[in-house]
Amino acid sequence: MAKIEWRIEGPHFVNCNCAYGCPCQYVALPTDNTCKAVVGFCIDKGFFGDTRLDGLLAVNVYSWPNPIHEGNGSMQSVIDARANAAQREALAAILQGEGADPGSTMLQIYRAMCSEYHAPVFAPITLEIDMESRSANLSIPGIVETQVEPLRNPVTGAEHRARIDLPNGKEFRVAEVASGTTRASGAVSFEFAKRHAHFAAAALTSGGIAA
């Protein structure tokens, strides 16, 4: 079967259970030696072969009992209820990194490190991302709720800005760091408050990050 090329372009956020900055970004072990995370995508433009994905929303929820590279994780995708049958099939494939070159993108890497994959859910998703203000709100009732806000100086309360620059990153080249709170109550469940979050405006493709 011929390989199907795909691309999703637009802002996304990640909120995980690590301390701000996330040691994993620096090839160090996660803060408490586990990883729990939610990733929300606003797809401004996208395609999977001939199937267009413009304007759709998608979310992945992950949990590993150890550092990601040790595997044994679980994941579930939540796909915009507005998607038609072809779009649902396409997004389910993309969110698992199907057809991507091994090691080329976080979607392929994270799926490879998950031994348990829960069937995708098709549901109404409320997702608002404002990269400039470093804020986001995600709501999928009964599955996951996330609020992201700017980092704040613990003494003055003033907003603090920080970035992560990864020239060879598998998810982004530059990301804005923020603070996030998530409660996941679906097939993959966890809860944490005021932990690492970041925003990126990346184009993920089946061949890796687009320049």
How high is the mean pLDDT in each 10-residue block of the chain (211 residues)? Answer: 85 98 96 98 97 98 98 98 98 95 94 97 98 97 98 96 95 97 98 98 92 59
- Residue 101: its pLDDT value, please? 87
| Type of residue numbered 154 | P
The pLDDT, as a whole number, for residue 172 is 95
Q: Residue 3 has what pLDDT? A: 82
pLDDT at residue 94, as a whole number: 97
Q: What type of residue sits at position 86?
A: A
pLDDT of amino acid 81:
98
Quote the pLDDT of residue 121: 98
Can you give the pTM of this predicted structure? Answer: 0.96
